[in-house]
Amino acid sequence: MLDGCWSLALGVNLWVPRTYANTNTAYDEPHDVAAQYAQPHRDFRIRCEREVWVVISDTAHGLTQTQQRDEHLIKKFYLITIIYPTMKFTFLFTALLVSLTASIAQPVKPFRIAIAGLTHTHVNGILGRAHDGDIEIVGIAEPNRELAERYLKQYNLPMSLVYSSLSELLDKTKPEAVTAFNSIDQHLDVVRACAPRKIHVMVEKPLAVSLAQAKEMQALAMQHGIQLLTNYETTWYGSNEAALQKLKTMGPIRKMVVHDGHQGPKEIGVNPEFLEWLTNPQRNGGGAITDFGCYGANLMTWLMKGERPLSVTALTQQLKPDVYPHVDDEATIVVEYAHAQGIIQASWNWPYNRKDMEVYAVTGYVIADREGIRFKTNPDRAEEFSKAPPLEKPRHDPFALLAAVVRKEITLTASDLSSLSNNMLVMEILEAAKQSARDGKRINLQ
C-alpha cells in the first residue's frame, strides 16, 4: 500500500484492485466495497493500492490525472459502478478505465532468448534464470554434447534445447534475441547469423576480439536494424551508479583508477573449455589486457559521457610465463583525456578477486566496489560510506535489460555501459593499448 495515495471521486465507474483498502480495512468481494461506497451523488475518498490510482476532478466533468505503476503486479480488478447524472462523462471515463485495465491485465509473454555457446562460464547467469518466468530459453547452440549435458543437468533443463549449430537453432526456434557465451572471436559469427534474420544480440565482454571484427559487427547491426549489446558484470553493480550520482556534486573528473582481475583463470579453477580459448591470443585477443582491461575502458567511457580519449599508453608483462606462455597476465593502461586521466590495472596476479574503482574529481572522491561507495565531498569532511541500493528494474539484470531494449520499453544512451557506441570506443582503447604495449610507445587516437 502506498501511504498518501488518495482519490477524490464524484459518482463514476471505478476499477479497483481485488485487495482494496480504506483506512486500513480490507475488502475481498465487490459487494463489500459497493455496500460501503456505492451511494449515488456522494463524495468519497478512496485509499488505493500503489499499483494503480486515479484522481478525479471534484468539479464533476473531468479526469485530471491517471497514473499507473508496476503493471505486472496487478492480478484482478472489480468494477464499482456509482451512478452520476452526467452520462457523457460517465461513458468516457468508463471507456478510459476499461482500456487501461485491459492493457494492465494483458499477461506479458516471456522473452524468448537463445544461447550461442556454453564455453564461457558466465553462462551460469542466464542458465540460473531459466525458471524465473520472465525469460524463456528456446534453444542452445553448442556442438560439445558432453559440456551441454553437464550444464543442463545442473540447471534441470532438457537436452532437447540443444542444437549442434546456431543456424539450425535460429531457423527452428526464432528467438527474439541471442546471448553469446562462446569465445570472443566467435562473436562476429553470431552477429553474422543473427543480423540478417533481424534477431538481436548480446555478447559477453568484450565486444570483439579485434577492432576490425567490431567494425564489421557494428556495420551488420546498423544495416539490419538490430540491437547489439555487451554484457559486463560491473554494469549490474548498484555501487557504480551510486558513484556516478555522487560525482555529479564534485565537479569535473580528474583521475580514474580501475582495478579488475583475480589470481588467474587457472588458479581460480575455470573449466578446461573456458581456459583453452581464454589463454589463446587469437581467440581472446590477449590475456589480462583484454579479459580485464575492457572493464576499465567501459567504465571510463561511461563516466566521461562518451568522450573520446586523446591517447593510450600501455605496459604488459608475463609474470607467470610457465602458466600463461602465450598471453600477458599483467597489464596497465593509461588513457589520456583532454582534462582527465584514466588508469586501468588489469591483472591475473591479484591476491584476490577484485572489481573496484577510484574516481577523483575537483572537490572530492568516490571509491566504489561491489558492496558500496566510500566518498569524501570536501577536504574538511571525514570519509563516509554508503551501501549501494540495488539498481531499478530492468537495469538490475542483463537479460531483463536486453528484453526491455528489444521490446522498445527503454532506449540506451550512447555512453550507456551496454551500448554499441560505448563498446566501439572500448575496442579502440584496447586496440591502441595492445599496439602500445607491443611497440613501446604512446598511441594517439585523435
Q: Do domains 111-233 and 234-444 have the same CATH topology?
A: no
User: Beta partners for 135?
Assistant: 111
Domain ranges of the chain: 6-105, 111-233, 234-444
Q: How far is CA 225 from CA 111, 174, 176, 203, in A?
A: 19, 17, 13, 17
Mean pLDDT is lowest, of 83-87, 121-125, 240-244, for: 83-87
**Residue 23 pLDDT > 50:** no
Cell of residue 253, nine digits: 573528473
For the segment 42-64, the average pLDDT, to the nearest whole number, is: 35
CA proximity to 34, closest of 23, 48, 20, 24:
20
Radius of gyration of the chain (CA): 27
For the segment 414-439, the average pLDDT, to the nearest whole number, is: 98
Q: Please give the pLDDT value at position 391.
A: 96
- 264-323 tens-digit pLDDT: 999 999 999 999 999 999 999 999 999 999 999 999 999 999 999 999 999 999 999 999
- The rounded mean pLDDT for the chain is 83
Q: How far apart are CA 153 and CA 285, in angstroms?
A: 32
Q: Please check whether residue 97 is in contact with residue 54, taking contact to mean a CB–CB distance below 8 angstroms.
A: yes
| pLDDT bracket for residue 12 (50, 70, 90) | very low
Cell of residue 238, nine digits: 548498484
The CATH homologous superfamily of the domain defined by 234-444: Dihydrodipicolinate Reductase; domain 2 (3.30.360.10)
**Residue 194 pLDDT > 90:** yes
- 399-411 tens-digit pLDDT: 999 999 999 999 9
Whole-number percent of the chain with pLDDT over 90: 74
Q: How far apart are CA 19 and CA 27, in angstroms?
A: 6
Cell of residue 359, nine digits: 574516481
For 440-444, which contacts have Cβ atoms below 8 Å and span 24 or more sequence positions?
441/313, 442/311, 442/312, 442/313, 443/311, 443/312, 443/313, 444/310, 444/311
Q: Please check whether residue 82 is in contact with residue 11, taking contact to mean a CB–CB distance below 8 angstroms.
A: yes
For the segment 26-40, the average pLDDT, to the nearest whole number, is: 38
Q: How far apart are CA 191 and CA 197, in angstroms?
A: 10
Highest mean pLDDT among 10-14, 69-73, 139-143: 139-143
Cell of residue 118, nine digits: 556454453
Mean pLDDT is lowest, of 16-25, 274-283, 424-433, for: 16-25
> In sequence order, which ranges of 281-342 are alpha helices (DSSP H)?
281-284, 288-291, 293-303
| pLDDT bracket for residue 227 (50, 70, 90) | very high
Q: If one looks up domain 111-233 in CATH, what number appears?
A: 3.40.50.720
Cell of residue 317, nine digits: 608483462
